[in-house]
Amino acid sequence: MVVIMKPGATAAQIGAVIAKAEKLGCQTHPIYGEARTVVALVGDLTQITREPFDALDGVAKTVRIQEPYKLSSRSARPENTIIELANGQVVFGGPEIIVMAGPCSVESRQQIIETAIAVKEAGAKVLRGGAFKPRTSPYSFQGHGLKGLEYLAEAREITGLPIITEVMTVQTVPMVAEYTDILQIGARNMQNYGLLQAVGKTNKPVMLKRGMSGTIKEWLMCAEYILSNGNSNVMLCERGIRTYETATRNTFDLNAVPFIKETSHLPVVADPSHGTGLRELVPAMAKASVAAGADALILEVHPDPDKAVSDGRQSLTPAMFEQLMRDLRRVAVAVDRYIGEAPVNIDAADVLERVRG
């Protein structure tokens, strides 16, 4: 840490900085310039924050040099974190790019099973779907809750696809963890520290979405909340940030993908559905996500987007999704990754007949 004094800071003020630093166990190196004095702190500073120094009289500002995240940092662990599901058939963080797909909300048993079959046929490896939905309005549909989880589980049983679904409260963590394969923390809850601690105490993989105005550094610190509670299976999902631009739903910050791959060992997921909010932009930005180095994608697919209760505007049809998967495979290969081929022998007709029945 470097503490920069104001021009004209007194010897007493500089002394107070040095005294505080030494009390905290650091060595100090004051440097007396023409215009200002700077005090450099040396030693193990991981537990030391800028705040006590910022508050001292005569201090202009402080600069932290060592990053405050420990467990999520690539310098702490150089090799990629690998997260395995379904007995190793689904691996995040390796050469394969995993595609997760499904509707925004689980709307009915038929809807989720139909979608699960469709996305599996196109090559998706994980089924997404919301049972508990965070909604801006208390008067909007809030999800089917437990019933939604049961439908997801049935869809998994039929297709073999592991599932990912959002958990919104500490109280429902055990219930959701019982059903799902991956716990999703939504953007609004990125800094809901109680919830982060609760999922940190489970043994389920967690996908942590970036908050609407979360910086990359804050986001990594939120991952740190999960990791430091004992759960090392964390992946980070870029889903767009809030900026002044309103032509798209969010500004999809793809810079975050290579930045995090440099800074952290955790797998990175890209969500072009929320990142754009517009169905017609999703294919281009899904391809861009793969090219930028994402380890996985999460995409909204709905059998009939016109009838979706939420996010229909950004949902792909199954046909669009199938075409996109073909296109994505080509881009993956061009960046020395791959997306697994779609299974050849699915006989879904029978299941669908029963479900639609």
- Contacts to a second copy from residues 152-171, by CB under 8 A: 168-171
134 binds a second copy (CB under 8 A): yes
Q: Which stretch binds a second copy (CB under 8 A): 31-39, 122-130, 152-160, 341-349?
A: 31-39
The only residue of 131, 208, 288, 298 in contact with a second copy, by rule CB under 8 A: 288
User: Minimum Å distance from CB 117 to a second copy?
Assistant: 22
101 vs 196 by CB, closer to a second copy: 196
98 vs 196 by CB, closer to a second copy: 196
Query: For strand 2-5 and strand 59-63, is the pairing parallel, antiparallel, or unpaired?
Result: antiparallel
290 binds a second copy (CB under 8 A): yes
Q: How many residues bind a second copy (CB under 8 A)?
A: 108
What are the residue ranges of helices labelled H in the chain?
A: 11-23, 51-54, 109-122, 146-159, 173-179, 193-200, 216-227, 256-263, 272-276, 282-292, 318-334, 349-356
138 binds a second copy (CB under 8 A): yes
26 vs 101 by CB, closer to a second copy: 26
Q: Which stretch binds a second copy (CB under 8 A): 77-85, 157-165, 175-183, 216-224?
A: 216-224
User: Minimum Å distance from CB 353 to a second copy?
Assistant: 27
207 binds a second copy (CB under 8 A): no
Nearest to 102, CA basis, from 308, 299, 296, 287: 299
The only residue of 99, 216, 237, 268 in contact with a second copy, by rule CB under 8 A: 216
The only residue of 80, 108, 232, 251 in contact with a second copy, by rule CB under 8 A: 251
Query: For strand 206-209 and strand 182-185, is the pairing parallel, antiparallel, or unpaired?
Result: parallel
Q: Beta partners for 127?
A: 101, 163
User: Minimum Å distance from CB 86 to a second copy?
Assistant: 28
Q: Which stretch binds a second copy (CB under 8 A): 68-76, 91-99, 113-121, 143-151?
A: 68-76
Residues in 94-123 that interact with a second copy by CB under 8 A: none
Residue 74: DSSP 8-state: T
10 binds a second copy (CB under 8 A): no
In this structure, the number of other CB atoms found within 10 A of the CB of residue 38 comes to 16
Nearest to 317, CA basis, from 350, 270, 273, 269: 273
Distance CA 65, CA 62 (A): 10
63 binds a second copy (CB under 8 A): yes
310 binds a second copy (CB under 8 A): yes
92 binds a second copy (CB under 8 A): no
Distances (CA, A) of 233 to 38, 49, 224, 267: 41, 27, 11, 9
Distance CA 37, CA 89 (A): 58
Residues in 71-90 that interact with a second copy by CB under 8 A: 75
* Phi, psi at 162, each rounded to 5°: -65, 160
- The number of angstroms, rounded, from the C-alpha of 116 to the middle of its chain's C-alpha atoms is 22
40 vs 86 by CB, closer to a second copy: 40
